[in-house]
Amino acid sequence: MTDKELEQRLEKALSAAAPDDVEGVLSRCEARKGIVIPMKKRTTGKMWKSLAAACLALVLVGGGGAYYYQANAVASVVSLDVNPCIELKVNKSEKVLSADPMNADGAVILEGMDLKGTKADVAMYAIIGALLQKGYVDELANSILITVEDEDAQRGEKLQAELTAQADAALANAQISGAILSQTLQMSSELSAKAEEYGISAGKAALIEAIVAGSNGTKTFESLVGLSINELNLLYSAQSFSPADPEEIGVIGSGDSSTAIITEGPPIVVTGFASQSAYIGLEAAKEAALKHAGLSAGDVTFLEAEYDYDDGRMVYEVEFRFGDTEYEYEVDALTGEIVKYERENDGPIGGGGSLPSGDYIGESAAKAAALAHAGVKESDTQYCNAWLEYDDGRPECYEVEFMSGSTRYEYEIALTSDTVLKFESKNLGGQTASSGNAGSGSGTSGDIGSQGAKQAALTHAGVSESQAYELEVDRDWDDGRLEYEVEFKAGGMEYEYKIDGVTGSILEYEWDRDD
């Protein structure tokens, strides 16, 4: 069966299972039409338009020619980011000199709106209204970034506070619990160059820089540039609000509250909470991690639970402690799937203490067993660590990790003998060299083929093809590189290999007892 045929069968089967009740849908549409939603929208729409018209009228009456030059000098530049991005140039008396869209969505918002000459805070109120009306701010993504660029920091901060208050009022009026990030920047050529390079506002660039600066080197500007303001807000809030007291974690989770978090000092002030409606929520993430660990909330002490962005997806990082063991989980924020987990035992190092050490071989013997198996001398390693690994509070085995050259080894050694239970080695070198061919989709010129991959794995394992059973070869693209995954069993062991599809070199392998 080809892939296409299989897909067609699947479509046919799902089509038979899917509901076919167009009447049910139409009856509900009829019922809704004209009752709540369209009415509400129409009223708000009119309101914003008449508001903008009123402001305009006000300005026409009030505007005079005497202070022409002063009035037309740009004092502050205000940018507003949601996804629509809008820039307002404002004079000394906080009147709008121009309102320009910075992207296509911004143009949609400003369409039919004449803000020139309005007070900046009134313009802000009208723009937020249009954002709400056109569906850019809703319960799924409610974050707005307001940036004031001004040489005069004091004047800028005053304007920032006024604009934030107006934006808040507009959101409250629409009964949306929004989250507003606001900041005042000194105009900086470095920042505007970066903003221009990525086609974003200086305000968004500053927010990304703040997150990168607070990430201890785990994030880069490039990796964050594609995120929405709501996602950036989640990350920023998670960084600047890492509570020491586990009780406070609940505060982040209760997204509906209107209490403001004010972060420590400038530059970025956060009010309200970024929406998590698109995600499973912190509590669900904690549950998922606990379930995976086989523990219940009562057993553990939570250390940290927050948003993060890793490998191109939003995740919750959940950390907790049970006895001497610290658990670290990354839970996919959309699906609740466990993306990564790590368990670390920091009990008494050195093997002594309260452990029932009588029959155990000890960490140095475990180390020796692993090194001997790998054929590596301890003096040739960059580091070599061994510790007792616990499972559900009971010692399970010794873990030994060491690095020799560019290869990292991980071993599990039995508690009471030098038996190797499991080992894995990973060559960390040479990966960059072969990852250069990303994107060359169908290029098969350098493909070793599944036969070649199988042979490479069997040769490495010292197993002949006739000895191997349950042999599976899978062709895979990983990070733009062609790879083969080879799995087989032989002599009571299970083997897993990852082979470079072009060079045939062994990228990763793992042997485990087949039980």
Partner 1 sequence: MLMLMLAQTMEQEGVRDRQVLEMLLGEIAAGNQEALAQLYRRARTAVYGLALSYVKNAQDAQDLTQDTFVRVWDAAPQYRPQGSPMGWVLTIARNLSLMKLREGQRKGELEEEQWNAIPAQAPSISHEDRLLVQNALAALEEQERRIVVLHAVTGLKHREVAALLELPLATVLSKYHRGLRKLKLRLEGDGIR
111 binds partner 1 (CB under 8 A): no
Q: How far is the CB of 304 from partner 1 (least distance, A)?
A: 21
Q: Quick check: 18 binds partner 1 (CB under 8 A)?
A: yes
- In the set 56, 71, 284, 355, which binds partner 1 (CB under 8 A)? 284
- Cα 258 from Cα 180, distance rounded (Å): 12
Compute CA distances 389 → 319, 330, 409, whole Å.
18, 21, 16
Minimal CA–CA distance to 256: which of 273, 240, 270?
273
Indicate the residue among 26 and 493 with the shorter CB distance to partner 1.
Answer: 26
What is the C-alpha to C-alpha distance for residues 358 and 509, in angstroms, rounded to an integer? Answer: 34
The H or E element that residue 328 is part of is strand 325-332
Please give, one letter per residue, the 3-state secondary structure of 146-187: EEEEECCHHHHHHHHHHHHHHHHHHHHHCCCCCEEEEEEECC
Q: Which of 48, 236, 273, 279 binds partner 1 (CB under 8 A)?
A: 279
Give just the sign of the alpha carbon dihedral 282, 287, 290, 291.
negative
Toward partner 1, which CB reaches closer, 46 or 475?
475
Q: Which of 369, 366, 403 is nearest to 384 (CA)?
A: 403
Binding flag, residue 291, partner 1 (CB under 8 A)? yes
Rounded Cα distance between 73 and 329, Å, is 53
104/433 Cα distance (integer angstroms): 40
- Are residues 229 and 82 in contact, defined by beta-carbon separation less than 8 angstroms? yes
Q: How far is the CB of 481 from partner 1 (least distance, A)?
A: 9
- Verify binding: residue 476, partner 1, rule CB under 8 A: yes
The reply to whether 32 sits near partner 1 by the rule CB under 8 A is yes
Q: Which of 296, 478, 491, 505 binds partner 1 (CB under 8 A)?
A: 478
Pairing of strands 506-513, 493-500: antiparallel
What residues between 129 and 188 interact with partner 1 by CB under 8 A? Answer: 134-135, 140
Interface mask toward partner 1 for 61-100; x: CB under 8 A? ----------------------------------------
Q: Which segment (182-190, 261-269, 277-285, 497-505) binds partner 1 by CB under 8 A?
A: 277-285
Residue closer to partner 1, measured from CB, 92 or 341: 341
Q: Which residue lies nearer to partner 1 by CB, 117 or 129?
A: 129
Residue type present at position 296: S
Q: Could you tell me the smallest distance in angstroms from the CB atom of residue 41 to partner 1?
A: 8
In the set 377, 475, 513, 514, which binds partner 1 (CB under 8 A)?
475
Task: Enumerate the H helices of 321-474 as residue ranges.
Answer: 363-374, 431-434, 449-461
Considering the rule CB under 8 A, would residue 314 count as an interface residue with partner 1?
yes
Rule CB under 8 A: which residues touch partner 1? 1, 3, 6-22, 24-26, 28-30, 32-33, 37-38, 41, 108, 134-135, 140, 277-281, 283-284, 287, 291, 311-314, 334-337, 441-442, 474-480
